[in-house]
Amino acid sequence: MKKNLYLIKNGKIIRKQNTLYFVSKKEGGGPPAPPGGPATEGSPGYLADEDDERTELPDDISDKPEFEKRPLAVEQVDAILCYGRISLTSGVISFLSKYNIPVHFFGYYGHYESTLFPKEALLSGEMHVRQASHYLDKTKRLALARKFVIGSAANIKRNLEYYQNQEKPLAGVLNEIDVLAESVALCGNIGQLLALEGNIRSTYYSAFDTMLKPGFSFGSRSRQPPANPINAMISFGNSLVYGQAINAIYRTQLDQTISFLHEPSERRFSLALDVAEIFKPLLVDRVIFKLINKDMISPQDFTTELGSCLLSDKGRRLFLTEFNEKMETTIKHRDLGRNVSYGRLIYLECIKLGKHVMGIKDYKPFTIWW
CATH of the domain at 15: 3.100.10.20
Q: What is the pLDDT of residues 79-110, one digit of tens each?
A: 999 988 899 888 899 999 988 899 999 887 67
Whether residue 185 sits in one domain with residue 94: no
The stretch 304-322 carries a mean pLDDT of 89
Residues 6+ apart with CB under 8 A from 192: none
Residue after which a domain boundary falls, among 84, 116, 148? 116
Residue after which a domain boundary falls, among 116, 149, 177? 116
Whether residue 193 sits in one domain with residue 307: yes
Cα–Cα distance, 157 to 205 (Å, whole number): 12
Determine, yes or no, domain membership for 364: no
Residue type, 130: R
Whether residue 262 sits in one domain with residue 130: yes
Residues 6+ apart with CB under 8 A from 1: 328, 341
Residue 61: band (very low, low, confident or very high) from pLDDT cuts 50, 70, 90? low
Whether residue 282 sits in one domain with residue 184: yes
Whether residue 80 sits in one domain with residue 187: no
Q: Closest Cα partner for 322 from 342, 302, 339?
A: 342
Whether residue 147 sits in one domain with residue 23: no
Cα–Cα distance, 297 to 318 (Å, whole number): 8
Alpha helices in the chain (DSSP H): 90-98, 125-136, 138-164, 171-182, 190-205, 208-211, 229-250, 270-280, 286-293, 313-328, 342-357
Q: What is the pLDDT of residues 188-243, one digit of tens each?
A: 999 999 999 999 999 999 999 999 998 898 988 887 789 899 999 999 999 999 98
Whether residue 98 sits in one domain with residue 145: no
- Cβ(192)–Cβ(149) under 8 Å? no
Whether residue 242 sits in one domain with residue 207: yes
The stretch 303-309 carries a mean pLDDT of 85
Whether residue 247 sits in one domain with residue 310: yes
Predicted confidence at residue 106, as pLDDT, reads 86
Predicted confidence at residue 336, as pLDDT, reads 87
Q: What is the pLDDT of residues 153-175, one digit of tens each?
A: 999 999 999 999 999 999 999 99
Name the DSSP letter for residue 201: H
Predicted confidence at residue 27, as pLDDT, reads 64
More confident position, 33 or 255:
255
Determine, yes or no, domain membership for 198: yes
Which domain range does residue 81 map to? Answer: 3-116
What percent of the chain is modeled with pLDDT above 90? 58
Asked if the model's pLDDT at residue 5 lies above 50, the reply is yes
- Cβ(216)–Cβ(289) under 8 Å? no
Whether residue 170 sits in one domain with residue 250: yes
Determine, yes or no, domain membership for 366: no
Cα–Cα distance, 295 to 308 (Å, whole number): 23
Determine, yes or no, domain membership for 368: no
Determine, yes or no, domain membership for 365: no
- First vs last Cα of the chain: how many Å apart? 23
Asked if the model's pLDDT at residue 52 lies above 60, the reply is no
Q: For residue 115, how many other CB atoms are within 10 A of its CB?
A: 18
Q: What is the pLDDT of residues 242-267, one digit of tens each?
A: 989 999 999 899 999 999 999 887 56
More confident position, 356 or 251:
356
Determine, yes or no, domain membership for 362: no
Residue after which a domain boundary falls, among 91, 116, 141? 116
Cα–Cα distance, 342 to 364 (Å, whole number): 17
Number of domain units in the chain = 2
Determine, yes or no, domain membership for 81: yes
Hey, which residues does 21 pair with through a beta bridge? 14, 71
- Cβ(99)–Cβ(77) under 8 Å? yes
Helix (H, G, I), strand (E, B) or coil at 143: helix
Whether residue 141 sits in one domain with residue 106: no
Determine, yes or no, domain membership for 69: yes
